[in-house]
């Protein structure tokens, strides 16, 4: 939004993700975590008599993963690293530096003025 003589330019590049997209993403992460959990429990059942150490690790993963999945799913909306400003301020022009006063009081003012 820019006006001819406007002083503010708004930007939305730092806007948060929509609520529907956020919920959909959290649901997707939860389903993926539960799929991995299901596969690890099945692997533990299949490998129990073949490779007991791997089966125990897979079973432990199947026990711990639901808690992690629920915590991740309920973590809430994404956080913004830094809140963007709502507008870009108009650049200010630098002020001119003041001229130094002459040391001698009888000296002529600059540019021949009296």
Question: Considering the entire predicted model, what is its pTM?
Answer: 0.52
- Domain residues for 44? 34-78
Distance, CA of 64 to CA of 91 (rounded, Å): 54
pLDDT of 73 reads: 77
Does 94 reside within a domain?
Answer: no
Does 65 reside within a domain?
Answer: yes
- Asked whether the beta carbons of 44 and 55 are under 8 A apart, the reply is yes
3-class secondary structure, 11: coil
Q: Which helix (H) or strand (E) holds 70?
A: helix 52-73
Does 56 reside within a domain?
Answer: yes
Q: Which helix (H) or strand (E) holds 45?
A: helix 19-47
Distance, CA of 11 to CA of 13 (rounded, Å): 6
- Provide the number of structural domains found in the chain: 1
Per-residue pLDDT of the chain in tens (114 residues, 90 and over written 9)? 444 555 666 566 666 677 888 888 888 988 998 899 999 999 999 999 999 999 999 999 999 988 988 887 777 666 655 655 566 667 777 777 767 766 655 555 566 555
Does 4 reside within a domain?
Answer: no
């Amino acid at each position: 939004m820019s006006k001819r003589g406007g002083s503010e330019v708004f930007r939305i590049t730092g806007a948060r993700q929509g609520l529907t997209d956020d919920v959909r993403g959290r649901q997707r992460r939860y389903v993926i975590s539960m799929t991995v959990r299901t596969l690890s429990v099945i692997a533990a059942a299949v490998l129990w008599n073949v490779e007991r150490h791997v089966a125990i690790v897979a079973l432990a993963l199947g026990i711990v993963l639901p808690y992690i999945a629920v915590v991740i799913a309920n973590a809430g909306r994404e956080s913004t690293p830094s809140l963007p400003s709502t507008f870009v301020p108009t650049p200010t022009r630098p002020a001119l530096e003041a001229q130094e006063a002459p040391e001698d009081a009888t000296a002529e003012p600059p540019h021949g003025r009296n």
